[in-house]
A and B are shown apart, each in its own frame.
Chain A
Amino acid sequence: MQRILVLLPILVVIVLGGFFLWGLNPERDPNAIPSALVSKQAPTFDLGPIDGVESPGLKTADLSAAGEPVVINVFASWCVPCRAEHKVLTRLTRQEGFPLYGINYKDKPEDARKWLAELGNPYGRIGSDETGRAGIEWGISGVPETFVVDASGKVVWRYVGPIATEQSQDDLRAALAAARGEAGS
């Protein structure tokens, strides 16, 4: 009995070591936040346009109306990384031709207007989420965040932070391609 008991510590350590080795996998990012929305229908929301901006508002039905995958970008004029991301998204939507919709999160209409006038407006539709209510529905943890919604209105991808690095751009392209492929099959 005692012989087995003294083996217990080393056995526990071997099992733990296995878990640690698994945890060291460089592909694994313990800080990545999985979204509860991914592979679910997009949440219900209905946002009016920003006063004085020609882009129309955004609601749930608009997401599947395009008949192809769309990219939803949550942004705000007070968010510095959004500024960095803006150029990249503008270029990507021109090159790849996907519809880009915006949710203007907790922003004053006049600030958002000034911001879009300065940097350009790549968004097909922009919903003004002044209260942050739609942000809660989407479960965002901060701005910017970007989602890909497929033709059936299902959220297929989520990215936290600015899409500025090569890696994040590639991920976005891959998510779009996957969403298109799924709809085609």
Chain B
Amino acid sequence: MIPELGQFALALALAVALVQSVVPMMGASRGNLVWMRSAQSTALGQLVFVALAFGALMWAFVVSDFTVRNVAENSNSLKPMLFKVAATWGSHEGSLLLWTLILTLFGAGVAVFGANIPHALRARTLSVQAWISVGFISFMLFTSNPFDRLMPPPVDGRDLNPLLQDVGLAMHPPLLYVGYVGFSIVFSFAVAALIEGRVDAAWARWVRPWTLAAWMSLTAGLALGSWWAYYELGWGGWWFWDPVENVAFMPWLLGTALLHSAIVTEKRGAFKSWTILLAILTFSLSLLGTFIVRSGLLTSVHAFAVDPERGVYILGLLGLSIGGSLTLYAVRAPAMEGGGIFAPVSREGGLLINNLLLATATGTVFFGTLYPLFLEAVTGDKISVGPPFYNASFVPIMLPLVFVMALGPFLTWKRSDLKGILQRLWVVMAIAGVATLAVWYMVTKGPVLAVLAFGLGIWLFLAVLQEWASRIKLFKVPFSESLRRARNLPRAAHGMTLAHLGLAVCIFGFVGSSAWKEDVIAFARAGTVVQVAGFDLTFEGVEEVQGPNYVAARGTLAVHRDGEFVQYLYPERRNYPVARSQTTESAIRHTLAGDLYASMAEPAADTAGDAWTLRVIYEPLVNFIWLGSFMLVLGGALSLSDRRLRVGAPRRAKTPVAAQPAE
């Protein structure tokens, strides 16, 4: 009964979305206020119906209703409750429902919190958002219905892939989707502005908080996903340049560019058409990700069950939304130019470099991800593109970005004095230089590029601190005065400082854990000693342990350093009888200086006899990655809470075409 109600709610949501995609748009063109306002109620209605459908599906998972095919295929009565709930979005159909839920959530968000946005723009934005809803809800109802029944029902379900039974992963898709799908509202704003035919500073200011919210969530989702891969999968790494990771990373890169270019549009009225293009492309990349993950186009470890019919449907959706918006862009963009004039060395110039580099980096990742497909289509050869490509292309693009990033906040609008800035920063430069040399002296192995990247991280960290200190005149005026200045500084400024510091911290983690890690693989019997990075690990044997829905072989490793006992590590190899699969549960000793990471696999059947395969990795500084990501998110949150973004209701310029800057 309840699954049918869910399906019914989904059908109603489609009907509401259809109304919303037409009426407000027509209202906006005819100046009919009632029609325009209808978007607010329909947006809320959509959210309610999709949420009902989502609740119905979740209910089916919670009570383990195996007459629903989706539940039977992805859940199991023995599973802990948390993972029953999380299984709701563990499958293709369920995750699509979550996708749509978040889509409607953002639409409802604009309906509720967008009181300062002009009626016409809000109505058009919500209509565009409803077009996307129509596409995805119909996709679900016609090709991937999550409420399909199964007769006769099986006695017990097939269980979710045990790799996915983890708290980090249970939270990873929702966060990632909030980011991914959150860019939809920015896309809708952009398309609405194109239809309306005007983009001005006020538009940029309305769009920025939504961009920021989506960006924060995407950052958190990516960090959580890589953390999960690192500590759960036992792969001994946190990023693999896998196609599915890349398609989530590309919207992040371009979204970061958008975040910065929107500042220029808001403050100076420049970069308009570029900002619009970025808004369209960022969400297009999100859609592309959805397409690639669900169509089986590329080889990946993450893919859902593949069905060509679905692939064609999503490709059609993609063609309509991306093709339509870019055609509209081609027609309307030439008409909107103008904006502030600026010298090459200025804050605009700095942000331009930021955007060029980020866009190039996105292009590089895009090319690397899809190159196997292009090559196979043209020559028939099959290849895979891996880390060496990205290390040789992506990293060298990001390094100058980090260098310029340190200078950016010092630059003033319109025209700036580079010589003066470099003079102010010479102490920082000297310290960073000396520190780089010190690192180079200490670390004898690893590529030179790593030392350079680490040095740039130090440079960025110190320069950002100095910029912040100079704003509050730290040590120049009495401390109480500095404190007062810090309080009066807009929260957005603190947010920027924190986020930029966060990136510097991330860089330390990236470099340390990828360039300087130590990796040992050994066949271990009881008594075998493995040495890595100054630690001695003694393998003391394996015992069998019973879990809720698995049986595990647990190894015991005694860790010593310089002859002194440190702690025990217990890596596990878990066997899930129902799902008939196995997972690796690595054991990690976390410290800020680095992680000692142990995982093990079954005795190799051949020459090694009964010895277990033991892998021990020392990953220096790896926790800085998650610390830095946390700072990035927190910086975004601080910036989002800024008064200006909350209540700063900018007035739209009177003259419709030639917009004035907001200042």
Interface residues of A (CB under 8 A from B): 2-3, 6-7, 9-10, 13-14, 16-17, 19-26, 30-34, 76, 78, 106-108, 130-132
> Which one of A6, A17, A78, A130 contacts B273 once the chains associate, using CB atoms below 8 Å?
A6
Smallest Cβ distance from A76 to chain B, in angstroms?
8
CA distance A8 to B577 in the complex (A): 54
B291 pairs with A6, CB closer than 8 A: no
B311 pairs with A24, CB closer than 8 A: yes
Additional pairs, 19, CB under 8 Å, beyond known A13-B326, A31-B299: A2-B334, A6-B334, A13-B322, A16-B370, A17-B315, A20-B295, A20-B297, A20-B315, A20-B318, A21-B315, A23-B295, A24-B297, A24-B312, A24-B315, A30-B296, A30-B298, A30-B299, A78-B605, A78-B606
Which of B323, B334, B605, B607 has the most chain A CB atoms inside 10 A of its CB?
Answer: B605
B281 contacts the other chain (CB 8 A)? yes
B interface, size bucket:
35 or more
Smallest Cβ distance from A7 to chain B, in angstroms?
5
CA distance A30 to B295 in the complex (A): 11
Selected A-B contacts with CB under 8 Å, 25 pairs: A2-B334, A6-B273, A6-B333, A9-B281, A10-B323, A10-B326, A13-B322, A14-B323, A17-B323, A19-B370, A19-B373, A20-B373, A22-B377, A23-B295, A24-B297, A24-B315, A26-B308, A30-B296, A30-B297, A30-B298, A30-B299, A30-B376, A33-B382, A78-B605, A78-B606
CB-nearest residue of chain A to B310: A24
B330 pairs with A20, CB closer than 8 A: no
A19 pairs with B374, CB closer than 8 A: yes
Which of A10, A25, A31 has the most chain B CB atoms inside 10 A of its CB?
Answer: A10
CA distance A107 to B605 in the complex (A): 8
B373 pairs with A23, CB closer than 8 A: yes
B382 pairs with A9, CB closer than 8 A: no
User: Which residues of chain B (338-381) have a CB below 8 Å from chain A?
Assistant: 370, 372-374, 376-377
CA distance A130 to B607 in the complex (A): 8
CA distance A3 to B332 in the complex (A): 10
3 A-B pairs with the lowest CB-CB distances in the bound complex, closest first: A78-B605, A10-B326, A106-B606
CB-nearest residue of chain A to B333: A6
- B24-62 to A contact mask, C-beta < 8 Å, 1/0: 000000000000000000000000000000000000000
User: Number of residue pairs across A and B with beta carbons under 8 Å?
Assistant: 76
Smallest Cβ distance from A50 to chain B, in angstroms?
14
CB-nearest residue of chain B to A10: B326
Residues of A within 8 A of B633 (CB): none
Residues of B within 8 A of A9 (CB): 277, 280-281, 326, 329-330
B297 pairs with A23, CB closer than 8 A: yes
Smallest Cβ distance from B300 to chain A, in angstroms?
9
CA distance A13 to B328 in the complex (A): 13
> Which one of B281, B284, B311, B606 contacts A132 once the chains associate, using CB atoms below 8 Å?
B606
Residues of B within 8 A of A131 (CB): 607
CA distance A31 to B376 in the complex (A): 12
Residues of A within 8 A of B281 (CB): 9
Known A17-B315, A21-B315: A10·B330 in contact at CB below 8 Å: yes
Residues of A within 8 A of B446 (CB): none
Residues of A within 8 A of B531 (CB): none
Which of B315, B318, B330, B376 has the most chain A CB atoms inside 10 A of its CB?
Answer: B330
B327 contacts the other chain (CB 8 A)? yes
Which of A13, A14, A78, A106 has the most chain B CB atoms inside 10 A of its CB?
Answer: A13
- B274-297 to A contact mask, C-beta < 8 Å, 1/0: 000100110010000001000111
CA distance A20 to B284 in the complex (A): 14
B319 contacts the other chain (CB 8 A)? yes
Residues of A within 8 A of B315 (CB): 17, 20-21, 24
CA distance A150 to B175 in the complex (A): 55
CB-nearest residue of chain A to B295: A24
Which of B280, B284, B326 has the most chain A CB atoms inside 10 A of its CB?
Answer: B326
> Which one of A14, A26, A34, A130 contacts B382 once the chains associate, using CB atoms below 8 Å?
A34
CA distance A100 to B286 in the complex (A): 51
Known A14-B323, A34-B382: A6·B329 in contact at CB below 8 Å: yes
Smallest Cβ distance from A136 to chain B, in angstroms?
14
A6 pairs with B330, CB closer than 8 A: yes
Residues of A within 8 A of B296 (CB): 30
CA distance A19 to B291 in the complex (A): 13
Residues of A within 8 A of B298 (CB): 30
Smallest Cβ distance from A16 to chain B, in angstroms?
8
